[in-house]
């Protein structure tokens, strides 16, 4: 039994996962309401919210799984990357419980944990495969050579896909979190071909991404428009923007899979919850003979079950963290 704890951003989450990758509980307490008035995540508010909710969230996860701390064999906690103040709440909490109860501790990388969401679904793929992590902070392609042998093969040069959704939504006056708002507007009969927006780096011949130019193109498109016109055109603007992001993600992921992943692709991260991405990738993958694994939406967005899953794989390989374990805010500080 692994207890997973996740506090890297604006979700306070805890989950119990058993060794056969069965999810016994999966509690996610979202802070969306606390941040919404500011149009994005406010780090100081996020840390304080985590402090308020973490005990309750972990207790709920244990209760839902019908177990107590004495039944927990390992604690997995997100060490980074993320907001440092938020990470410290989870890491300090996990260290305290580990020390008090003598439960082994495993610090895990949040982005790598996204790659493990798929292991919690029926018939998960065996490595090697390619994994796309598209979230608020990252848009990266990984070659998963073995479960714990992961190589970065593509990344964004500037904004992440989720960040582009969030910034575009803000520009159009839509509420945070932006990705879900843009998806909702598009579904009001938005025509994805109505506005021509660029597909950055689509033909760059490598596996890297760039989304800041797309956001700027949208800004130029609506510049000088009165708010009523923006409001009237929202479904088309959102559908056109979403389509541009989706086209790039689909194309690059499939190219990476055909080049490196032996025809096997998995996706994860908040943007992977996007219905249009799931649909388009499904169709294109089938056309090109790529096998695709798509976790449920709850496992794509931030959660602690994926943290527990990665911690389990690390734990069985003998990896442990000690009380000197540090939270880290930026990507690539920690290898392996």
Site residues for Zn ion per CB under 5 A? 135, 302
Nearer to ligand KG4 by C-beta: 185 or 233? 185
Q: In this structure, is the dihedral angle defined by the CA atoms of residues 90, 93, 98 and 103, taken in order, positive or negative?
A: negative
CB of 111 to ligand KG4, least distance (A): 8
Look at residue 178 and give the partner it binds from ligand KG4, Zn ion, none, a contact being a CB closer than 5 to 8 Å depending on partner kind: ligand KG4
Nearer to ligand KG4 by C-beta: 72 or 112? 112
Stretch that binds ligand KG4, among 53-61, 177-185, 195-203, 225-233 (CB under 6 A): 177-185
Among 131, 162, 190, 295, binds ligand KG4 (CB under 6 A): 162
Rounded Cα gap, residues 247 and 258, in angstroms: 17
CB of 331 to ligand KG4, least distance (A): 11
Q: Does 166 bind ligand KG4 (CB under 6 A)?
A: yes
192, two tokens:
């994805």
Stretch that binds ligand KG4, among 17-25, 99-107, 163-171, 186-194 (CB under 6 A): 163-171
CB of 165 to ligand KG4, least distance (A): 5
CB of 73 to ligand KG4, least distance (A): 26
Secondary structure class of 74 (helix, strand, coil): strand
Rounded Cα gap, residues 6 and 306, in angstroms: 9
Stretch that binds ligand KG4, among 85-93, 159-167, 224-232, 253-261 (CB under 6 A): 159-167
For every residue of 20-58, DSSP letters joined together read: T--EEEEEEEE-HHHHGGGTS--HHHHHHHHHHHHHHHH
Site for ligand KG4 in 283-302 (CB under 6 A): 301-302
Torsion of CA 112, 114, 120, 123, to 10 degrees: -80
The C-alpha angle 10, 52, 50, rounded to 5 degrees, equals 25
Q: Does 81 bind ligand KG4 (CB under 6 A)?
A: no
Look at residue 166 and give the partner it binds from ligand KG4, Zn ion, none, a contact being a CB closer than 5 to 8 Å depending on partner kind: ligand KG4
Phi, psi of 13, rounded to the nearest 5 degrees: -135, 145
For every residue of 112-171, DSSP letters joined together read: HHHHTGGGGSSSPPPSSEEEEEESSS-EEEEEEEETTEEEEEEEBSS--HHHHHHHHHHH
Residues that bind ligand KG4 (CB under 6 A): 9, 135-137, 162-163, 165-166, 177-180, 183, 269-271, 273-274, 301-302
């Amino acid at each position: 039994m692994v207890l997973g704890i996740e506090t890297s951003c604006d979700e306070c989450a805890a989950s119990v996962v058993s060794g056969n990758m069965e999810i016994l509980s999966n509690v996610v307490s979202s802070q969306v309401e606390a941040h919404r008035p500011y149009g994005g995540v406010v780090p100081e508010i996020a840390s304080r919210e985590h402090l308020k909710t973490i005990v309750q969230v972990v207790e709920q996860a244990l209760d839902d799984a019908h177990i107590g701390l004495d039944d927990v064999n390992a604690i997995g906690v997100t060490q980074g990357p993320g907001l440092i103040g938020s990470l410290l709440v989870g890491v300090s909490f996990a260290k305290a419980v580990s020390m008090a109860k003598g439960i082994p501790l495993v610090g895990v990388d949040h982005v790598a944990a996204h790659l493990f969401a798929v292991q919690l679904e029926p018939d998960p793929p065996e490595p090697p495969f390619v994994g796309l992590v598209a979230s608020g902070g990252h848009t990266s392609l990984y070659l998963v050579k073995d479960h714990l042998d992961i190589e970065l093969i593509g990344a964004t040069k500037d904004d992440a896909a989720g960040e582009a959704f969030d910034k575009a939504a803000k520009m159009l006056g839509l509420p945070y979190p932006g990705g879900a708002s843009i998806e909702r507007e598009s579904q009001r009969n938005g025509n994805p071909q109505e506005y021509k927006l660029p597909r950055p780096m689509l033909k760059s011949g490598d596996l890297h991404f760039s989304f800041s130019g797309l956001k700027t193109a949208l800004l130029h498109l609506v510049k000088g428009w009165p708010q009523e016109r923006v409001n009237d055109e929202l479904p088309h603007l959102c559908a056109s923007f979403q389509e541009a992001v989706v086209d790039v993600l689909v194309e690059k992921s499939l190219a990476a899979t055909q080049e490196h992943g032996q025809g096997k692709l998995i996706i994860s991260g908040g943007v992977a919850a996007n219905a249009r991405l799931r649909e388009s990738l499904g169709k294109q993958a089938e056309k090109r003979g790529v096998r695709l694994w798509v976790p449920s939406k709850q496992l794509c967005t931030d959660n602690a079950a994926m943290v527990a899953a990665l911690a389990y794989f690390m734990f069985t390989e003998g990896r442990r963290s000690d009380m000197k374990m540090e939270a880290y805010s930026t990507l690539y500080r920690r290898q392996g």
